[in-house]
Amino acid sequence: MVANRSMMPEETNPGLVSAAIQAITQYIRVEGLGPGDLLPSEADMTRRLSVSRTVVREAFRSLSAMRLIDMSAGRRASVAKLDIGAMSMVIEHGVTTEQISVHQVYDVRRTIEMRTVALAALRRSDAEAAEIQEYARLMRENYRTPEIVMEHDIAFHEAIARASHNPVFSLIITAFSGVTRRTWVIGWRTRASVEDQIKMIEGHADIARAIIAGNPQLAAEHMAAHFDKSVKALNDAGIA
Amino acid sequence: MVANRSMMPEETNPGLVSAAIQAITQYIRVEGLGPGDLLPSEADMTRRLSVSRTVVREAFRSLSAMRLIDMSAGRRASVAKLDIGAMSMVIEHGVTTEQISVHQVYDVRRTIEMRTVALAALRRSDAEAAEIQEYARLMRENYRTPEIVMEHDIAFHEAIARASHNPVFSLIITAFSGVTRRTWVIGWRTRASVEDQIKMIEGHADIARAIIAGNPQLAAEHMAAHFDKSVKALNDAGIA
DNA sequence: TCAAGAAAACATGTCATACAGGTTGAGGGC
DNA sequence: GCCCTCAACCTGTATGACATGTTTTCTTGA
């Protein structure tokens, strides 16, 4: 069985697998597939591309790892809904291999979230406003249990990103959540007194109120203040 | 040969491959590997994880597709330098499956680039400043050949992102370049007269000058104006 | 002694085959 | 007409084989 090595004029990597990945993504584009639509079976793809099932499988598997497609036993692969999948892994990888610092992540988050919060103030539905407010309330209610505060904190920021109604913002912010989880507690601990901790939680309530009031400027200011305090906490903790 | 299915307490996907991916990334973290460092061979990993080479290969291949590791024939896989790899594929996928609109991408770019340009004005080295200026010059010089203008345009924005000295910004902006390539010409064509086109190119020169002058406010203003004009051009072209 | 070159050891790339187990739809029994 | 069973199809994993690329080792010759 002879493989066609010359289909892709500008192939990134040599190798049949890369070509197969290209072919599959191109298939999605050409066929105009959307989330949920089924792809050809592996056997089918094997015939189309004239390569072994091994190659096709590795290609499918790669796309699945990036969450561009969904795979599960017995059923054919389908086009996936937008998902952080790969993006969060790239960020995590960058941080764990020390190619990205926590400060750099916070700068990006600050930049983006000053925008998402303003958009949220302008575009949020009532349900979204209620959800955001609820997370702020839950943070206050559980202020004695850092882990729970953290999860609601993260959910709070993700909810704001969703309320911006721009999935790209949502995608990026959610991709950072993993890094946030690994540094959040450190920032919390530098807030020595309970008053400081409550003040930090109240910062979230301020943001929520500004969103509900539909005041983008105020919301952005509160968000900026919140990040400035977070970065200061990281600095105090000696995080590079 | 019996596989150990219970290593990972919080496995995301069922299946040995997902577990293997987790194990490999964890290996990188635990061993403290950085870019260029070698990973165990497939055979080695096969023994460690007690799974078939098939599974290990699919895991390696997935990480390679996300550009978290580098693979090539004959040599062992190594930890990769930070690369857009996966991120650009996620964005492309979102756009081609119509889960992300071009406008949404532009909003994100505007948000981020107003920051990168300000940072670049503050932090750019002389070499970086010269590079940015050079791209602006090349745009002017080739104003008759849209494709060349486009490539220099993209390089211009990427250079600014690099000059921000925050690789995360650089990563995100570069990940959008693919989408930009697919819409740029449309925006160009709506600029009917040569004067409009030159005005657009001069906008880039304005940005470059502000960066060289070390004026972050001015640079951000020029960048905002540039994006406003670009979005208007897309609107005029009827891009949703 | 040492350097160049050959060979062995090791690594990945691809293929073929096999079988277990999940999913789905067709057909038959009621 | 409904439910059940089973066949057809699909993915998940394992194994073995061989081509080809890379590194290490050892031999050989100067």
For A146-156, what is each residue's pLDDT tens digit?
999 999 999 99
Distance B7 CA to D23 C1' (A): 34
Higher pLDDT, B182 or A13: B182
Q: DSSP assignment, residue B99?
A: S
pLDDT at B180: 93
Lowest mean pLDDT across A75-79, A132-136, A155-159, B10-14 = B10-14
The overall average pLDDT reported for chain A is: 91
pLDDT at B238: 80
| B76 contact to strand C (CB, 7 A limit) | yes
Q: Does the distance separating the beta carbons of B35 and A167 come in below 8 Å?
A: no
Nearest nt to the B64 alpha carbon by C1'? C12
pLDDT at A238: 80
Chain B residues touching A107 at Cβ < 8 A: 115, 166, 168
Q: Does the distance separating the beta carbons of B87 and A86 come in below 8 Å?
A: yes
Chain B residues touching A54 at Cβ < 8 A: 54
Q: Which two tokens stand for residue B68?
A: 């978290």
Largest CA distance in chain B: 72
Average pLDDT of span A192-213: 91
Residue with tokens 């070509």: A19
Report whether pLDDT(A7) > 80: no
* Planar angle of CA A43, A68, B27, nearest 5 degrees: 95
DSSP notation for A48-110: HHTS-HHHHHHHHHHHHHTTSEEEETTEEEEEPPP-SHHHHHHHHHHHHTTSS-HHHHHHHHH
Whole-angstrom Cα distance, residue A52 to residue A42? Answer: 10
Q: B60 vs chain A: nearest CA distance in angstroms?
A: 9
Nearest CA in chain A to B165: A104
Report whether pLDDT(B30) > 70: yes
Whole-angstrom Cα distance, residue A222 to residue A219? Answer: 5
DSSP notation for A119-170: HHHHH--HHHHHHHHHHHHHHHHTTT-HHHHHHHHHHHHHHHHHHTT-HHHH
Q: A192 vs chain B: nearest CA distance in angstroms?
A: 30
Average pLDDT of span A95-119: 96
Q: Does the distance separating the beta carbons of A64 and B82 come in below 8 Å?
A: no
Q: Give the CB-side neighbour count of residue A206, counting CA atoms within 13 A.
A: 16
The C-alpha R_g of chain A, in whole angstroms, comes to 22
B234 near B102, Cβ under 8 Å? yes
Lowest mean pLDDT across A175-189, B141-155, B182-196 = B182-196
Fold (CATH) for A85-236: Four Helix Bundle (Hemerythrin (Met), subunit A) (1.20.120)
Chain B residues touching A89 at Cβ < 8 A: 25, 66, 68, 86
A86 near A179, Cβ under 8 Å? no
Report whether pLDDT(A85) > 90: no
Report whether pLDDT(A10) > 60: no
On chain C, which bases lie within 7 A of the protein's CB atoms? 10-17, 21-24
Nearest CA in chain B to A172: B172
pLDDT band at B12 (very low <50, low <70, confident <90, very high): low
pLDDT at B191: 77
Whole-angstrom Cα distance, residue A124 to residue A138? Answer: 20
Nearest nt to the B3 alpha carbon by C1'? D13
Report whether pLDDT(A237) > 90: no
Q: B194 vs chain A: nearest CA distance in angstroms?
A: 33
Report whether pLDDT(B8) > 60: no
| B45 contact to strand D (CB, 7 A limit) | no
Report whether pLDDT(B171) > 50: yes
The residue type at B130: A
The residue type at A43: A
Bridge partners for A38 per DSSP? A78
Q: In chain A, where are the structural domains located?
A: 16-79, 85-236
A119 near A165, Cβ under 8 Å? yes
Nearest nt to the B53 alpha carbon by C1'? D14
Lowest mean pLDDT across A111-120, B7-16, B153-162, B219-228 = B7-16
pLDDT at A12: 56
Residue of A92, A105, A111, A169 for testing the chain B interface, max B β-carbons within 10 Å: A111
B27 near B41, Cβ under 8 Å? no
Average pLDDT of span A9-27: 82
Whole-angstrom Cα distance, residue B65 to residue B59? Answer: 10
Q: Where are the alpha helices (DSSP H) in A164-193?
A: 167-190
Instruction: Give the model confidence (pLDDT) of B44-68 as tens digits.
Output: 999 999 999 999 999 999 999 999 9
Q: Does the distance separating the beta carbons of B28 and A96 come in below 8 Å?
A: yes
Average pLDDT of span B33-42: 97
**In a 3-state reduction of DSSP, which class is residue B110?**
helix
Of A163, A152, A135, the C-alpha closest to A188 is A152
pLDDT band at B194 (very low <50, low <70, confident <90, very high): confident
Q: Does the distance separating the beta carbons of A86 and B86 come in below 8 Å?
A: yes
Whole-angstrom Cα distance, residue A58 to residue A194? Answer: 52
CATH class (in words) of the domain with range B86-236:
mainly alpha
Distance B35 CA to D25 C1' (A): 29
Q: N- to C-terminal Cα distance for chain B?
A: 55
B16-79 has CATH 1.10.10.10 classification: yes
Average pLDDT of span A170-188: 92
Q: DSSP assignment, residue B176?
A: H
Which residues, in sequence order, are CB contacts of A31 under 8 Å at separation 6+? A37
Average pLDDT of span B85-100: 93
Instruction: Give the model confidence (pLDDT) of B212-238 as tens digits.
Output: 999 999 999 999 999 999 898 888 888
Rounded alpha-carbon distances, angstroms, from residue A106 to A184, B9, B107, B109: 11, 29, 20, 17
User: For a pLDDT cut of 90, what percent of chain A falls above it?
Assistant: 80
Distance A42 CA to D29 C1' (A): 56
pLDDT at B3: 38
| A57 contact to strand D (CB, 7 A limit) | yes
Distance B75 CA to D29 C1' (A): 31
Nearest CA in chain A to B57: A58
Distance A42 CA to D2 C1' (A): 35
pLDDT at A84: 87
A36 near A82, Cβ under 8 Å? no
**Facing residue for A111 by CB, picked from B87, B92, B112:** B112
Q: Does the distance separating the beta carbons of B61 and A25 come in below 8 Å?
A: no
Report whether pLDDT(B100) > 80: yes
Nearest CA in chain B to A35: B97
Report whether pLDDT(A37) > 60: yes
